[in-house]
Amino acid sequence: MEIAVRYSTHVRPISYLKANAAEVLLDLAETREPLVITQNGEAKAVLQDVATFEQAQETLALLKLLALGAQDIEAGRTRPARAVVERLRSKVSDR
């Protein structure tokens, strides 16, 4: 798994995107590497395939849950696992 992506090797001007949109989309799906689009020499957008985008969103959601959990721990909003399991068992047995 490659962690650091060198975006400098995946930079194209907007005119390239306009002229080669279908090829760019195929390349994005095949390589799953983002493409930086420039306008007037300045980076303006990053394109990526949908699967990679969805994976990134899932990863961000998990990281957010971890951060919220860490905040709960720091604030003392925790319960012992045994107490939680007992509570769940009593709810199930009440049905």
Map residue 45 onto helix, strand or coil: strand
CA distances for 42 relative to 14, 46, 83, angstroms = 10, 12, 56
* Prediction pTM value: 0.68
Query: Which residue do the tokens 């994976």 mark?
Result: 55
Per-residue pLDDT of the chain (95 residues; tens, 9 = 90+): 555 656 667 999 999 999 999 999 999 999 999 999 999 999 999 999 999 999 999 999 999 999 999 999 999 999 999 999 999 999 888 87
Structural domains of the chain, with CATH: 7-48 (3.40.1620.10), 51-93 (no CATH)
